[in-house]
Amino acid sequence: MSEPPARRRNRRGEGDQLRSEIVAAAQQLIEETGTASAVTLRAVARRVGIAAPSIYTHFADPEQIIRAVVAKTFDEFLRHLQAARAGIDEPRARLLAACHAYLAFGAEHPNLYALLFARNPAPDGAAADQTPDLRLQENGEGLDRLVGAESFELLVHDVAATAAAGASRTDGAYLTATALWVALHGLVLLRADAPQFPWPDAKQLNDVLIGRIALLEPAPA
């Protein structure tokens, strides 16, 4: 394999660009190989076209790069969900669109999706609390301790709006959103891990799963 062309030295003020290129290169490595262990300083530097020591200006070690990949991918995941539900006023349809988008993202980016939940550190500067907090089970308080919590909060919001519109029988948006997330997550992983299984029609299965877990009322005629 030929070496990539040498990357020109960044001009003053271009350090953020180099950081972004390092994270993007690591993201590509994980998506291509399916493992975070592919993210080494040498592999990332080769892909970006820099000397490995140049990475230390932005990251102390590969683990910090992987954390940045998780944050970047969660941002992309959130934007994907937001785009799918944008312009949909009816709450039931908006929830369905977001859930279908969730499943599509997992199918299109299985390796990056798996990374999101295999490694979910506390945000930078937040202390990792290993003590279970019962408040999280009641209303989601404390979700800010998790990277990517905005995507789950979006799901809670859409479930609550669907219930308020009389289109869901749930009496607890947080509990139902959690159950829905568990179901969507499981389906993404099972489809990736068992492609040989004779799966039913994808849209039909998705609609059944989402409708039953979210306790959706039948769509109006």
- Give me the chain's average pLDDT, please: 87
112-160 pLDDT tens trace: 999 998 865 545 544 444 443 434 444 566 676 778 889 999 999 999 9
Q: May I ask the CATH architecture of the domain 15-60?
A: Orthogonal Bundle (1.10)
Cα–Cα distance list, 23 to 71, 81, 88, 121, 183 (Å): 10, 22, 33, 17, 30
Pick the CATH number of 70-213 from 3.40.50.300, 3.40.50.2000, 3.90.45.10, 1.10.357.10: 1.10.357.10
pLDDT of residue 118: 84
Residue 19 CA to residue 126 CA, distance in Å, equals: 22
- Within 50-166, residue ranges assigned H as helices are 62-85, 91-108, 110-118, 134-139, 149-164
Q: Quote the longest CA-to-CA distance of the chain.
A: 63
Q: What pLDDT score was predicted for residue 147?
A: 80
Q: Please state the domain extents for the chain.
A: 15-60, 70-213
* One fold for 15-60 and 70-213: no
For the cut 90, the answer to whether the pLDDT of residue 68 exceeds it is: yes
User: Are 159 and 153 in contact, with CB atoms under 8 Å apart?
Assistant: no
With contact defined as beta carbons under 8 Å apart, do 156 and 149 qualify?
A: no
Please write the tens of the pLDDT for every residue from 22-53: 999 999 999 999 999 999 999 999 999 999 99
* Band of pLDDT at residue 5, cut at 50, 70 and 90: very low
Q: For residue 74, what are its two tokens?
A: 């969660």
